[in-house]
Chain A
Amino acid sequence: MLKGRDVISILDFTRSELEKIFREALKMERVQKLERPLLKDRLLATAFFEPSTRTRLSFETAMHRLGGSVIGFSESEGTSLAKGENLADTVRMLDAYADVVVIRHRIEGAAKLAAEVADVPVINGGDGSKHHPTQAMVDLYTIWRELGRIDGLHIALTGDLRYGRAASSLMYALTKFRPKKVSLISPASLKPRKEIMDFISGTKLKFSDEEDLKEIIGDLDVLYVTRIQKERFPDPAEYEKVKGSYRVDPELLSDAKKSLIIMHPLPKVDEIDLQVDETPFARYFQQAAYAVPVRMALLALLLGKAM
């Protein structure tokens, strides 16, 4: 039952619930214009205490497409938070106004607190560095939609697997499925947190730490690239040394399977060569586009108005 649920961590969802969201998203994709707006008179509040482009806009687009309306803010400036109001009080107000709340916050656990305070469903639009459950749903959906399955695939995650919440959430999410193998490739200082590694070690997920993308590229079905932020390296020379080893370019891809798909939660900077954008491997723009039907499906299911 998804109606009325909070969406705090991808781990709160079972495989069959995720598959229900996928099936619903597929229907949403095929409906360009709804004859009967499913969420007419419903209100989504977007509480973005931290900047976001894709997450916020895709939630807003999803809500508008379903015939609902949106209120909210996209930075703390100009709200009473700037005057020192606490998070809980701000959430109580949104809870009173809206039917569903999406929150993004820098502080870890902010979404869980918001869910405790609010009666309406609260969706975590990203908090701290571990959880971004709706991004994980979009990522799983992209694999499922582009390759028809998640089970049995060799999936590699590269880049910043430590501070990036999209990569962390996807690692958690993949434990709900049975990929052939998940390969993790990152600089030593950006390896996944111990909490995440301990968690996935306790599941049936087959994963391995790999040094060199070149060695495994020929076996991959999915390559999930994330951005390595310069700020994570105290020594700029270290960053320059590391960034090249995680860069995806046509030369690397010359050994790839024809069916390989490359994903990226975006924004991307220079970890993917621009020439790759033009190849059939590139699915990150499609992935960003799927964010709308997936979030439409989620909003409709949470509000008990699925198609």
Chain B
Amino acid sequence: MNSEELTVKKIRDGTVIDHIPGGQALNVLRILGITGEEGHTVAIMINAQSRKLGKKDIVKIEGRELVSGEVDRIALIAPEATINLVKNYRVARKTKVKLPDEIKGLLKCTNPNCISNKPREPVTPSFRVVSRTPTLLVCEYCGTYITYDEVAAQYTLPG
């Protein structure tokens, strides 16, 4: 752990998500459905200096582990993130998120004329990864490109 991370206290058991692009920490919490009402202790650092990302966010959640669907969703807005599972103050497992080759159901296509946006059709929006850095996805139904900013916008709380 570097000194930036020590700005907030270490957690005993839980998850530390590091290398989130600067400004996306609240969106990560939103993806995880953490509103604060669940009772977990949550520490957030926004816009810490990072050699790799310029600015990065860090999220620490006491008493909460992630499941694999959540990891995939985090990869959508934080494709460089590392997820540290902490047990008894130590990193028990460190994993780098990886955007799956196929993403089903987690995003909406930005093309309003795409069949996957028709609510009365039995269709799950599906995307293939064109590029990982920067994130670029393509809709399996209509071929429209979805950029990182468009992905992030879908997970951003309305101001």
Give bound CA distance, A113 to B121, whole Å: 9
With A113-B141, A194-B145 in contact, do A128 and B121 touch (Cβ < 8 Å)?
Answer: no
- Please indicate the chain B residues that have their CB under 8 angstroms from the CB of A195 in the complex: 138, 143-145
Q: Please report whether the interface of chain A is mostly helix, strand, loop or mixed according to DSSP.
A: helix
CB <8 Å contact, A87 and B143: no
- Please indicate the chain A residues that have their CB under 8 angstroms from the CB of B118 in the complex: 86-87, 107
* CB within 8 Å of A: which B129-154 residues: 130, 138-145
Tell me whether B114 is interfacial, beta carbon within 8 Å.
yes
Tell me whether B113 is interfacial, beta carbon within 8 Å.
yes
Closest to A110 in B: B115
CB <8 Å contact, B120 and A112: no
Q: How far is the CB of A282 from chain B (nearest CB, A)?
A: 33
- Chain B interface size, under 10 / 10 to 19 / 20 to 34 / 35 or more: 10 to 19
Tell me whether A109 is interfacial, beta carbon within 8 Å.
yes
CB <8 Å contact, B143 and A108: yes
- Please indicate the chain A residues that have their CB under 8 angstroms from the CB of B113 in the complex: 106-108, 128
- Chain A interface size, under 10 / 10 to 19 / 20 to 34 / 35 or more: 10 to 19
Tell me whether A117 is interfacial, beta carbon within 8 Å.
yes
Tell me whether B35 is interfacial, beta carbon within 8 Å.
no
Q: Please report whether the interface of chain B is mostly helix, strand, loop or mixed according to DSSP.
A: loop
- Set B115, B130, B139, B144: member contacting A113, Cβ < 8 A: B115
CB <8 Å contact, B114 and A108: yes
- Please indicate the chain B residues that have their CB under 8 angstroms from the CB of A109 in the complex: 114-116, 123, 139-142
Closest to B136 in A: A198
Tell me whether B111 is interfacial, beta carbon within 8 Å.
yes
CB <8 Å contact, A128 and B142: yes
Give bound CA distance, A107 to B141, whole Å: 10
- Please indicate the chain A residues that have their CB under 8 angstroms from the CB of B114 in the complex: 107-109
Tell me whether B36 is interfacial, beta carbon within 8 Å.
no
Q: How far is the CB of B124 from chain A (nearest CB, A)?
A: 10
Tell me whether B105 is interfacial, beta carbon within 8 Å.
no
Give bound CA distance, A195 to B138, whole Å: 9
Give bound CA distance, A108 to B145, whole Å: 13
Tell me whether B69 is interfacial, beta carbon within 8 Å.
no
CB <8 Å contact, A113 and B123: yes
Tell me whether A56 is interfacial, beta carbon within 8 Å.
no
A-B contacts, 24 listed (Cβ < 8 Å):
A86-B118, A87-B118, A88-B121, A88-B122, A88-B123, A107-B113, A107-B114, A107-B118, A108-B113, A108-B115, A109-B114, A109-B116, A109-B140, A109-B141, A112-B140, A113-B115, A113-B121, A113-B141, A128-B113, A128-B142, A130-B142, A194-B145, A195-B143, A198-B130
Given A87-B115, A110-B115, A194-B145, 19 more pairs with CB closer than 8 A:
A86-B118, A107-B114, A107-B118, A108-B114, A108-B115, A108-B141, A108-B142, A108-B144, A109-B141, A109-B142, A112-B115, A112-B141, A113-B121, A113-B141, A116-B123, A128-B142, A130-B142, A195-B138, A195-B145
Q: List residues of chain B with CB under 8 Å of any chain A CB.
A: 111, 113-116, 118, 120-123, 130, 138-145
Q: List residues of chain A with CB under 8 Å of any chain B CB.
A: 86-88, 106-110, 112-113, 116-117, 128, 130, 194-195, 198
In the complex, the 4 A-B pairs of residues with the closest C-beta atoms, listed nearest first:
A109-B141, A108-B142, A109-B115, A86-B120
